[in-house]
Each structure stands twice: as structure tokens, then as C-alpha cells.
Amino acid sequence: MAWSSKRRTTVMQKYDLVVIGAGPAGLAGALQAHELGLSVVILDDGKRPGGQIYRNLDKLTDKMRPVLGKSYQDGERLLRAVKHMGLDIRTEAVVWHISAGKTVYFVQKDEVAAVEADAIMLASGALERPFPVPGWTLPGVMTAGAAQIAMKSGAAIPAGRIVLAGCGPLLYLVAGQLAQAGADVRAVLDTTPRGNYWRAIRHAALGFTSLKQLFDGIGMIRAISACGIRRIRQVDDLRIRGENRAEAVEYSTPRESGIVEADCILLHQGVVPNIQLHRHLGCEIKWDYSQLCFHPTIDGNWQTSVPGVFAVGDNAGIMGAKAAEYSARLAALHIAKSKQRVVDPKTKTSIQRKFRQLTEIRKFLDTLYRPPVQFRMPPQENTVICRCEEITAGEITDLAAAGCVGPNQAKFFTRCGMGPCQGRNCGLTVTELFAHATGKSPSEVGYYTIRSPIRPLRLAALARVETNGVAADVEFS
């Protein structure tokens, strides 16, 4: 497959629908809209469509096919459909500003371009939840998701002894994939509290689809046991040891304490919606106590509080890749209907049924893999929270005690959230620390205000905005 990373034209083009993100949700939503006769363009910052879940799938080698498994290969159907339909996909397109009038500005190869939209579909997926523990900033420590991206992108696996720590299905999936790829996986330190299992049972009245998902998860745990990987459960304290780089993980459980030597430590405690674009557009967000994160307020058609802006897939609330596709298709049906396209009610009913089947297990998973408070808000005051500016948990709690009201005011005193990641890595932790210290809810405390440029932008590219025939209505502050 060939995907275009070239900027097509300096003339502003207008589309019925601009989709931001070429993962399962973005591709499925674009396909549905295209099938109903809408003009659609997809913008994605990757080199190829597929998002994180189906990253580099069209370049999958025979060697990595059995390693990455069936769930990864499920995306081939979607990519074939995209190629067959000839969708307009702009790869390596980094969105840096969206105007109130729905003009979307992006950069490709340091060239600035823009497209106008009647409707915008946000399909930017999820981010791994921050996992701030002592030593997590040492070289040799990364997220489990990052390790999986390396496998998908270039069949690369970490060298040396590997330890994975945290909770959630991805933790076990990556452990098994690494072991099958020949990596030296020494242990999985599972931080799921024992009480979570009992609470999750209350949501265990599952249908056929959910039971299949459950057995898939059990299969992942059995797979690492078959590989001889040590599994340590109910870990309630973690510290990464090392001078100039990670050398070991110190842990404790209700029954034991120990140290596992490691050259590479992979952390993971679930994923959360990527809400940067929602905040930039002024979409209303709310705190979800079941998933312990913010997500946008949406109506029954997946439309946010901003008319014409839709949030689908995991950035609307964590739901999984398959369910993400159906959420986007439902949004596309509504957009098409608003454009006077003929939409078969039976199609909508069928998609809604499949979506419900796939998300039936969600409450069970959210309860089972609810991350413990000590791994979301570290009790150690010297633990770094903001990696970009090296701000510690103690500095945040001191600000709260001094009367600082929330994350945005904290920026003035610490620059927390003002680094290259723009709060992606620290935002949730900072909000929860303020909420805990002030006795307010996370919704009352709020989240960072996201300003343009949404992503780092070269000054040379910005200087070429006017010369490229693209007039930007951007005010930097």
C-alpha cells in the first residue's frame, strides 16, 4: 500500500468531514462516511495508517506475524477496505491548530497546510496512564506500549533482562509477545489489588462476546506462565533502583518483599483518552470515576458540546479497538444523515447492537484493573511528576497547601505541563494531586488549558503560513 505524506496543494480545500487520526476508529468512520457519499480526508501523524493498535501492519513480516498475534492482524481487513475505497489519507500530518470555524491546520514535511471542515471527527485514541514511581525517569525504563510500538515498527525488542510492572491486559499481552520474540522476560509484577477481583465479580454477568474476551485474557496469563515467566501478584509498592540507569525493581506485596534485577523495566497501568484536541476546541470534559480519567461529554450521536465536533473511539472513553470502529460508524451515520444522505435504520440498529456486545465487559475490566491510588499519586514527595520540567509530587502538594487552585495556576509557578508533551504525561497526576490536597473533585480542579500550537511546531514552518496561501487565525499566548 502507498500512503501520501506529500502536501497536496496550497489552495484551501473543504470537506464534509475531516477525520483526525487513522486508527481503527478514524478509518472505520471515514469509510462509513465515504460509502454514504461524503467528501472525507483523514489526517494522521504516523507514516502509515493504522494508529498505535495496527501500527505498520501493512509491512508485517512473516517473522513477526505469530509474535504480534491475531488481534493485531484483524486490522488487515480495515486497511484493505481503505485501499480499495481510495480514501484521501494525509500521513505524517501533525495537526497544530483548529479554528472555531473548523479550519484544521497541520504540518507535513515542515510545510503548513489547512483544510476546512463542515464536521470534525476526533479519533486521536488513547495515551498510557502516567505511572510515577521512584526511579521511573531513569534510562532503561519505558512503557509497555512503547516496547510494543518498537516491535511493530521495526521488530525491535529490548536487550537484557526485562521486568514488566503494573496492571491491565496490555501488560500480559506485551510480556507474551516479547517472550515469543526471544526476549529475556524475567518477571511480571502485577499491581492489581486483591479486592478488585471481588468487586469486578459483580459485573461478571457477561454474554458470549464478553466471555470470549475474558477467555482471551486468561489465555494471555497462561501464555506467560507457559514461558516460565515469574508472576508476582498484589504488588503494593514499587521502586526502581539504579545510579545512572535502571538496575533493579524493588517491590513489596502483603506477603513478601523482594528485588528483581533488570536492564529494562516496562511500566503500564492502563490507557486514558487523549483529550488534548478536545480541550483545545473547548469541548466540555468530565471526570469518569469508573475509568479515573477525563473524557468529553458526548450525546447519543457521539457529538461533543461543540456542534459539528465528534469524539469517537478511545478518546471518547476507553472501549477497545473493535468497539472504537463501531462508535465511529455511528457518528458517521449521523453526520451523513445531517447532510441529507439516505441512511438505512437497520444499519444503525445492527451497529448499535455490535457496539453494546463489545462494550458489555467494560465495567468488569474497569473495576478489575482500577489502578491503586499510590501508583497514581505517589506518596514519596521527591518522585518526579512532570518529566519535562522535573517537577516533583512534593512541589505540587506544596502549591496546593499555599492556595494554588489547580493545574493552570501551577504553570505560573513551576512550568508544569508547559514542556514538549504539553501535559500529556503529567496532566492526570497533577489534577488528582490537587483534588486530593484540596478536597475537591477532579472536575472542580480541572485540567490544563491547551493552546496553539497543540504540538511542537518549527518557527520556519510557521513563518511559511502566509506564503503558502494559508492564512492562520491563530493567537499565541
Q: Are residues 182 and 198 in the same domain?
A: yes
Between the CA of residue 251 and those of 133, 182, 236, what are the distances in Å? 11, 26, 8
Tell me whether residue 4 is in a domain. Answer: no
Residues 235 and 314 in one domain: no
Statement to judge: residues 144 and 264 lie in one domain: yes
pLDDT-based confidence at 9, cuts 50/70/90?
very low
Closest residue by Cα to residue 21 from 42, 47, 48: 42
96 in helix, strand or coil? strand
What is the per-residue pLDDT across 42-82, written as a single tens digit (0 to 9) for each? Answer: 999 999 999 888 998 888 888 888 888 778 888 888 999 98
Q: Give me the CATH number covering residue 421.
A: 1.10.10.1100
Q: Estimate the crossing angle of helix 65-73 against helix 75-85, to 10 degrees.
A: 70
Task: Give the Cβ contact number of residue 94 at 10 Å.
Answer: 17
Q: Are residues 165 and 259 in the same domain?
A: yes
Same domain for 205 and 104 = no
| Shared domain check, 183 and 236 | yes
Helix/strand number for the chain, H first, E second:
17, 21
**Residue 458 lies inside a defined structural domain of this protein:** no
> Tell me: the pLDDT tens digits for 130-143?
999 999 999 999 99
Q: Are residue 255 and residue 141 in the same domain, yes or no? A: yes
pLDDT cut 70: percent of the chain above it: 95
Q: Is residue 396 part of a domain?
A: yes
Write down the pLDDT at residue 299.
97
Averaged pLDDT score across all residues of the chain: 91
Is pLDDT above 80 for 461? no
DSSP code for 117: E
Question: Does any domain span residue 354?
Answer: no
Instruction: Give the tens place of pLDDT for each residue, 199-235.
Output: 998 887 677 777 788 888 888 888 888 888 999 999 9
Q: Global pTM? A: 0.92
Structural domain of 185: 130-269
262 and 288 co-located in one domain: no
Position 183 scores a pLDDT of 95
Distance of alpha carbon 334 from the chain centroid: 25
Partnered with residue 121 across adjacent β-strands are 19, 310
Indicate whether 243 and 134 sit together in one domain.
Answer: yes
Determine the pLDDT at residue 473.
Answer: 60
In this structure, is residue 339 part of a structural domain? yes
